[in-house]
């Protein structure tokens, strides 16, 4: 190529006319670890030759469901750990996470009569963006921060915190094993509503919300017995509940995402076949940044986290870049503004997007804008602030004539003590009892059920 055509080619690429899975490299990529280049090249070339984890048909199905949610005909429940851990890739943890999402879907679906579509923050939610790249150890040493298990080790030792590209390959395998177990559970009818007894979690049986949950379950049990006695089946077989489960993670580590990007000839399009849904974090959604460049070329539905710094004008351009053909369900805006700010910021964002006539699904992440520090320095969140942000968001959307189509939560089925409040009245002094997260504080099983009943009520009134 001579100098002028080289110049032209670069110019066209920079203008964003040509997209390839690797064109993100021409743009500034924030939050990328300093890898050893040779190790990274070896890992991503191995991942690139391994089979996809999900199919493009499943991705398209999810996009359509998100489209339904954007017009109020379905509700998207996205939830899971802030930072998924390799050690949690086992039957107990995976089924526990599925059970709590199923219970929550049942409460929301029963309360609102809308289909609830669960999307796990799992099977790949390993990488974490960090505001502080350096951490000080108890003996005063400065080491790299933990950036997620696909990048470095959680252990507080300098060597363990070195970015290790072999971890990307491990992450691929752990994601695959997690998905494989999810699919096995689904194939065995786990999500079938007639199997709702198998969604029980022993740890929640004494919970105050459990009695309310059991009331729904026993009502449904009676209903099924009645149908059976009449020799009737629920229309469409017994699959009255979801028969699919979708997985998602933050599209943060771009070399990994690139290696999971495959061209699907039957659909004539590129997809990231490492997850159904990907989101761009609040720290990496720059209009001229590499994360947006990567995400604009793939067919997957994309979430964009919107924090207090979001500029409404820029966000409109982000949406147009991600979804130039206005496909329904393609872009989900996940607002994470905080209970104290939502009244001030959300209407501005909604008005700007409405004025441009852009088609988006609105979701609310009531976790990341409500993080505070306890006196002993632990990150925590109050259930009441979380619920208050959701409540205000419903109220604002209703007032402005838009729909909330989903929520995005950091949660676990386990009885951890990471967020304050709830029926068990978790106080700051209890945080040390079971504070197990490797990144942000999660709602525990009991807090999740309580929140689900409150949200069902809000959806009904929206």
By CB under 6 A, how many residues form the interface with ligand PEP? Answer: 9
- Rounded CA separation 347/369 (Å): 16
96, 111, 124, 129: which one contacts ligand PEP (CB under 6 A)? 129
Residue nearer to Co ion on the CB measure, 255 or 281: 281
Which region, judged by CB under 5 A, interacts with Co ion, from 232-240, 290-298, 385-393, 439-447?
A: 439-447
Q: Residue 410: which H helix or E strand, with range?
A: strand 404-410
Q: Which of residues 202-221 bind Co ion (CB under 5 A)?
A: none
Specify whether the CB–CB gap between 279 and 334 falls below 8 A: yes
Specify whether the CB–CB gap between 13 and 26 falls below 8 A: yes
Under rule CB under 5 A, residue 257 binds Co ion: no
- Rounded CA separation 194/457 (Å): 24
Task: Give the tokens for residue 449.
Answer: 């059920």
Task: Give the tokens for residue 223.
Answer: 């209903």
Q: How far is the CB of 9 from ligand PEP (least distance, A)?
A: 34
Task: Give the tokens for residue 389.
Answer: 């942000």
Draw the binding track, 317-336, toward ligand PEP (x: CB under 6 A; -: no contact).
Answer: -------------------x
Q: How far is the CB of 1 from ligand PEP (least distance, A)?
A: 39
- Rounded CA separation 47/260 (Å): 7
Q: How far is the CB of 153 from Co ion (least distance, A)?
A: 19
Residue nearer to ligand PEP on the CB measure, 210 or 246: 246
Under rule CB under 5 A, residue 440 binds Co ion: yes
- Rounded CA separation 346/363 (Å): 12
Half-sphere exposure of residue 362, counting CA atoms within 13 Å on the CB side? 22
Residue nearer to ligand PEP on the CB measure, 65 or 121: 121
Which region, judged by CB under 6 A, interacts with ligand PEP, from 33-41, 210-218, 277-285, 308-316?
A: 277-285
Under rule CB under 6 A, residue 368 binds ligand PEP: yes
Draw the binding track, 171-200, toward ligand PEP (x: CB under 6 A; -: no contact).
Answer: ------------------------------
- A 10 A CB-CB count for 426 gives 24
Specify whether the CB–CB gap between 212 and 453 falls below 8 A: yes
- A 10 A CB-CB count for 275 gives 28
Under rule CB under 5 A, residue 165 binds Co ion: no
Residues of this chain that bind Co ion (CB under 5 A): 82, 440
Residues of this chain that bind ligand PEP (CB under 6 A): 82, 129, 281-283, 305, 336, 368, 440
């Amino acid at each position: 190529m001579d100098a002028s055509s080289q110049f032209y080619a670069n110019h066209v690429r920079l203008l964003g006319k040509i997209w390839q899975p690797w064109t993100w490299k021409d743009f500034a990529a924030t939050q990328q670890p300093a890898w050893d280049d040779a190790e990274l090249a070896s890992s991503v070339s191995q991942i690139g030759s391994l089979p996809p984890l999900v199919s493009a048909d499943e991705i398209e199905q999810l996009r359509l469901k998100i489209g339904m949610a954007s017009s109020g005909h379905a509700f998207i429940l996205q939830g899971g750990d802030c930072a998924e851990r390799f050690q949690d890739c086992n039957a107990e943890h995976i089924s526990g996470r599925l059970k709590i999402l199923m219970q929550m879907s049942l409460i929301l679906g029963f309360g609102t009569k809308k289909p609830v579509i669960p999307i796990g923050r799992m099977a790949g939610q390993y990488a974490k963006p960090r505001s502080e790249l350096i951490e000080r150890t108890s003996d005063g040493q400065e080491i790299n921060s933990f950036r997620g298990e696909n990048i470095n080790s959680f252990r507080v030792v300098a060597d363990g915190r070195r970015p290790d590209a072999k971890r990307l390959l491990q992450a691929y395998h752990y994601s695959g094993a997690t998905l494989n177990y999810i699919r096995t559970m689904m194939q065995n009818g786990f999500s079938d509503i007639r199997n709702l007894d198998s969604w029980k979690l022993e740890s929640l049986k004494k919970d105050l919300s459990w009695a309310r949950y059991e009331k729904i379950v026993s009502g449904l049990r009676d209903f099924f017995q009645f149908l059976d006695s009449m020799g009737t089946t629920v229309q469409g077989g017994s699959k009255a509940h979801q028969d699919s489960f979708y997985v998602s993670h933050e599209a943060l580590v771009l070399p990994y995402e690139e290696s999971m990007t495959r061209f699907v000839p039957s659909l004539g399009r590129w997809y990231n076949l490492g997850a159904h849904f990907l989101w761009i974090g609040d720290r990496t959604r720059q209009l001229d940044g590499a994360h947006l460049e990567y995400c604009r070329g793939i067919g997957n539905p994309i979430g964009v986290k919107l924090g207090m710094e979001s500029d409404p004008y820029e966000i409109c351009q982000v949406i147009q870049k991600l979804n130039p053909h206005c496909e329904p369900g393609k872009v989900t805006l996940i607002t994470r503004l905080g209970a104290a700010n939502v009244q001030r910021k959300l209407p501005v964002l909604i008005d700007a997007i409405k004025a441009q006539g852009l088609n988006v699904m609105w979701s609310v992440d009531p976790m990341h804008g409500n993080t505070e520090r306890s006196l002993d320095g632990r990150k925590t969140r109050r259930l009441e602030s979380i619920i208050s942000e959701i409540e205000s968001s419903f109220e604002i959307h209703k007032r402005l004539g838009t729909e909330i189509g989903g929520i995005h939560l950091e949660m676990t089925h386990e009885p951890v003590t990471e967020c304050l409040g709830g029926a068990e009245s978790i106080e700051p002094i209890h945080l040390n009892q079971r504070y197990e997260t490797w990144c942000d504080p999660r709602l525990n099983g009991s807090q999740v059920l309580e929140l689900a009943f409150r949200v069902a009520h809000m959806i009904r009134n929206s």
